[in-house]
A and B are shown apart, each in its own frame.
Chain A
Amino acid sequence: MPDTNTTLTPPEHTPPVVFTRAQVDWLPWLEPLAPEAMTERHMAALVDANRVKSPYFRLLARDPDTLESRTRADKDIFYNTNAGLPRAERELAAAAVSRLNGCIYCASVHARFSATYSKREADVDKLLAEGVDADLGESWNAVVAASVALTRTPLAFGPEHVARLRADGLDDLAIADVIQSAAFFNWANRLMLSLGEPAI
């Protein structure tokens, strides 16, 4: 299919100006593949066929092998609940990284997930409102601090972060889950922030 090779101007919309747990839309700056132009390979790269509705995934489908691997890694890091870190804290790591990098879209999705799994809506909202220095109690503070240290460039993650997580009772698989969850959102945030913009 032909490339347009120009940027898109999103339709008139209201940009979110605060972090929120509410539903946020996303508008692409580059032309996604048209659903009817997608080959079997492109569809396979989506992993979930209903993602064909998403302009974000149809844009990433332009590099199908990378999208498919990205998606399968994502699902294992966040949804493989065979031991390790609970879902709520994996989503907390994702939300904290998104809060620090400034991805309002990603933060909205993963703050919702974290609140759903933890039932700690007030603490999730505190993270969104106050930022990554918010006091969420030691267990969550330790996860947020590790995620933040891993997100800074140059990286600021050290043995003190591992020790703090261990002191809170996390085993090494759970700590590896914190690392992979935070690292993965450094991937996701950069795609979401640079290929389009959020809208409410």
Chain B
Amino acid sequence: MTVDVIDKLVGIAPGSAMDAIRAQRPEARTHAQKSYEALFTPAELAGVTTAERFAVACYVVGLHGEAETAAFYAEGLASDALRAAVDAAVRQTVTEGPYGAFPSGPLSAEDRPGPAYAVDAATAAALGPRLAAAFPHVHMLVFHPRDAAPESLATVLAAGWTTTDLVTLSQIVSFLSFQIRVVAGFRVLLRAA
């Protein structure tokens, strides 16, 4: 039987009150899980390897500082060397969001500056060229998505990611931004019972 990742990470026991609540949104439950499967155990990997998918996940979850969810995705990343490189990238680039600039105009008063992605050369080398090119884009998506621009996509494409790979990469980061929040929110709700 497939383990429902959100139930597992929240600690929802079958027959519990939280189980009953999730059962009232059955399609959300089923398809949150199917989204996870489509991104992390897909029938076809297309252009993005399993190691890349889990390395991006470990980076995103690490940047959020959610320990249990991070431990789950770390299990999916087979390479110790890659896991160490991702952990180093997290340590060097973790910050607080959301920040970023609005289109120039009345909203500019709300612009909030924040750090740009930067890692040391050893970390970039250990990530390899494809992930080293993708991580600045991932960092922006996590912390300052309103700063997105086509130049950021172009940099990732130039490292060998295709248009379709970039859709998958964007979905991995965006889906995790959802899953991390559902898990954290449900954990709080469960314990506030």
Q: Which of A76, A102, A161, A193 contacts B25 (CB under 8 A)?
A: A76
B116 at the interface (CB under 8 A from A): no
Q: Which of A109-117, A118-126, A134-142, A148-156 contacts its partner?
A: A148-156
Count, chain A residues at interface, CB 8 A: 70
Query: What would be 27 A-B contacts, judged by CB atoms less than 8 Å apart?
Result: A6-B157, A7-B157, A17-B105, A62-B163, A66-B35, A66-B39, A69-B31, A69-B32, A70-B31, A72-B27, A72-B30, A73-B28, A75-B27, A77-B28, A150-B181, A151-B98, A153-B64, A153-B96, A153-B142, A158-B188, A172-B17, A179-B185, A180-B25, A186-B174, A186-B178, A191-B174, A195-B167
Give residues of chain A (69-115) contacting chain B, Cβ–Cβ below 8 Å.
69-70, 72-73, 75-77, 80, 82-84, 100-104
Count, chain B residues at interface, CB 8 A: 73
Complex alpha-carbon distance, A89 and B162, angstroms: 39
Complex alpha-carbon distance, A27 and B140, angstroms: 20
Q: Which of A63, A158, A183 contacts B168 (CB under 8 A)?
A: A63
B128 at the interface (CB under 8 A from A): no
Main secondary structure of the interface of A (DSSP, over half): helix
Contacts of B182 in A (CB 8 A): 179-180, 183
B193 at the interface (CB under 8 A from A): yes
Q: Could you tell me the distance in whole angstroms from the C-beta of B109 to the nearest C-beta in chain A? A: 10
A194 at the interface (CB under 8 A from B): yes
Asked whether, in the complex, the Cβ of B174 is within 8 Å of the Cβ of A187, the reply is yes
Complex alpha-carbon distance, A191 and B26, angstroms: 24
B117 at the interface (CB under 8 A from A): no
Asked whether, in the complex, the Cβ of B154 is within 8 Å of the Cβ of A102, the reply is no
